[in-house]
Structure 1
Amino acid sequence: MIPQKRWGRHYWVPITQRLFGGQIVGQALVAAANAVSEDVHVHSLHCYFVRAGDPKVPVLYQVERTRTGKSFSVRLVKAIQHGKPILICQASFQQAQESPVKHQFSMPAVPPPEELLTREELIQKYLEDPELLERYRLGLNKMLAQEVPIEIKPVNPPEVFHWRSQEPKQLFWVRARGYIGESDMKLHCCVAAYISDYSFLSTALLPHRQHRVSFMVSLDHSMWFHAPFRADQWMLYECESPWAGGCRGLVHGRLWRRDGVLAVTCAQEGVIRVKQRPGESKL
């Protein structure tokens, strides 16, 4: 069977000048979803980041129809640049089925997004401080200049200029910028895949803020889709890191609808390498 091929474009490139992992995952899911029938929807995906993405060239998405069954169908996607895979993704799709076996965790009690500042408003607030050091001001202005296609409202924003250790948990409201509509659930899942990678791995750094990051990159990314949602409406992203070690960090995430329904569960592991700050003890 000849694999189906699609090309992906780049809409936002981070300061690292590597392709944003969420973009590659989201576009891989678009390619997989276009290779199944309309009556099935993604329920899980598992990805491995193999190489860094090059923002100077487009990505070729190659889809293999691994299995097409009555209830479940599986698609294998390879994201390719310069003739080599940069991501490998397995996505599983399911026909809607009812079951009496149902349960979920409870959504955390947090302030609604209307009562919180956006990422951009927080940065503007920091920039208004007349005692802000110039190196911080330059960094914040670079962040502000980025046109990130996601709206973010942190519930418990970290103290940016104080390197105090924090519990490896963070909460923020997220949604895609612009209007997507209600009809295409496949598209909302693809956008959620994009959103899910933003600031996800950084959760593992919160207890270690005294260190400077020299290298950080995602190794894999998994998602499980539980209930319908709209990615252009506010969802609460609950992130926590249960473990870090061996230059790796593990993070778990849950995307909640505003009505308390658990919509998506995520997991990711990444490489984290750090440098000591000047004057720190090596003991």
Structure 2
Amino acid sequence: MSSPRAPEDGQGDGDPPRDLRSVLVTSVLNLELLDEDLFRGTHYWVPTTKRLFGGQIMGQALVAAAKSVSEDVHVHSLHCYFVRRGDPKVPVLYQVERTRTGASFSVRSVKAVQHGKPIFICQASFQQAQPSPIQHQFSMPTVPPPEEVHGYKTLIDRYLRDPNLQEEYRVGLNQIAAQEVPIEIKLVNPPTLGQMQSMEPRQMFWVRARGYIGEGDIKMHCCVAAYISDYAFLGTALLPHHCQHTVRFMVSLDHSMWFHAPFRADHWMLYECESPWAGGSRGLVQGRLWRRDGVLAVTCAQEGVIRVTPQGSKSKL
């Protein structure tokens, strides 16, 4: 899956040691070829919900699609639907359909299958690089650099030491702290416990893959970004409500991504997330992944099911 190099300059990161190869490349996104356009993927990290992580399925599906196109075309958009619960006890089969191969654009459809039924479907569009005089982008938010921001585990430890933390949150934070997630996260301007009572549906965090991926394969960096983009994304819609409600069920319905510029997923990127709307037991979230040099690399959008119970309710639904 070779392609032009991802950018080395302007992102301000030193490379992780090359011998610490990212598990996202060596394991999570390393698919087994079974037949032409047919692949098998296994699981590395399963959330506490015991469902397959949506980012893993998206990343693996994009790997399968990328293997069916030529080296000179690169993904520019990805549109996905999650149609059934993923079973973490069995592998996932990825079936690729070469929907269209054109001079400038090519489309690939991917179906992820378990137990003989599709659990996920997506379409990925690839484009040959083309110059354009029409260019613009939003400005990257001004935030502290990742070197000045505490890591996720440090932040969790700070919350756990607070004597006013409710027991249900203490249990949830301990579960998060125990997970071995193959990405690093640093939340920008994390709220205190008192501020959690009146939060807006917005959050920003620095994120990167753990370990070394390297500069050579922009297609793989896009697949890793698909994995990263689903982590903590839908939860943005819960931020104004989590003190009043307990989540019973939360799962992604769809996820779309647009890739704008080359980037390194093993370098720090700022993930800017916001939820413009929630209702009807659904929440909508939008996100932007920024390179450290201010270049907008990826735009994301997702809708998911969110069902809650008012805190203190004894409902068993």
- Determine the structure 2 residue equivalent to 1:156: 189
- Determine the structure 2 residue equivalent to 1:144: 177
Change (3 A) 1:213 1:67: same
* TM-score w.r.t. length of structure 1: 0.94
> Contact 1:3 / 1:65 at 8 angstroms: preserved in 2?
no
- Larger relative contact order (Cα-Cα within 8 Å, sequence gap ≥ 6): 2
> Contact 2:165 / 2:193 at 8 angstroms: preserved in 1?
no
Post-superposition offset of 1:123 = 1.2
- Determine the structure 2 residue equivalent to 1:219: 253
Structure 1 residues 196-235: aligned runs within 5 Å: 196-209=229-242, 210-235=244-269
- Determine the structure 2 residue equivalent to 1:274: 308
Helix, strand or coil for the counterpart of 1:120?
A: helix
Instruction: Supply the AA of the counterpart residue of 1:47.
Output: C
Aligned partners of 1:226, 1:238: CA distance in 2, in Å?
15
Length, aligned pairs only: 279
Helix, strand or coil for the counterpart of 2:239?
A: helix
Q: Which deviates more from structure 2 when the two are superposed, residues 219-228 or residues 269-278? A: 269-278
Aligned partners of 1:197, 1:279: CA distance in 2, in Å?
30
Change (3 A) 1:229 1:138: same
CA distances 1:163-201 after superposition (whole Å, capped 9, x unpaired): 513111100000000000000000000000000000100
Post-superposition offset of 1:207 = 1.6
- Determine the structure 2 residue equivalent to 1:170: 203
Aligned partners of 1:73, 1:250: CA distance in 2, in Å?
29
Post-superposition offset of 1:130 = 5.2
Structure 1 residues 39-188: aligned runs within 5 Å: 39-129=72-162, 132=165, 134-159=167-192, 164-188=197-221
- Determine the structure 2 residue equivalent to 1:263: 297
Instruction: Supply the AA of the counterpart residue of 1:245.
Output: G
> Contact 1:250 / 1:268 at 8 angstroms: preserved in 2?
yes
Helix, strand or coil for the counterpart of 1:121?
A: helix
Aligned partners of 2:95, 2:313: CA distance in 1, in Å?
50
Helix, strand or coil for the counterpart of 1:28?
A: helix
Change (3 A) 1:32 1:161: farther
| Unpaired segments ≥5 residues, structure 2 | 1-34
Instruction: Supply the AA of the counterpart residue of 2:142.
Output: A
Post-superposition offset of 1:265 = 0.2
Aligned partners of 1:188, 1:252: CA distance in 2, in Å?
20
CA distances 1:17-53 after superposition (whole Å, capped 9, x unpaired): 0000000000000000001001100000000000011
Helix, strand or coil for the counterpart of 1:38?
A: coil
> Contact 1:3 / 1:62 at 8 angstroms: preserved in 2?
no
Instruction: Supply the AA of the counterpart residue of 2:274.
Output: E
Post-superposition offset of 1:133 = 5.2
Instruction: Supply the AA of the counterpart residue of 2:282.
Output: R
Aligned partners of 1:23, 1:8: CA distance in 2, in Å?
9
Aligned partners of 1:85, 1:130: CA distance in 2, in Å?
46
Post-superposition offset of 1:9 = 1.0
Aligned partners of 1:71, 1:274: CA distance in 2, in Å?
46
Percent identity over the alignment? 77
> Contact 2:55 / 2:230 at 8 angstroms: preserved in 1?
yes
- Determine the structure 1 residue equivalent to 2:56: 23
Aligned partners of 1:193, 1:279: CA distance in 2, in Å?
37
- Determine the structure 1 residue equivalent to 2:21: none
Post-superposition offset of 1:132 = 4.8
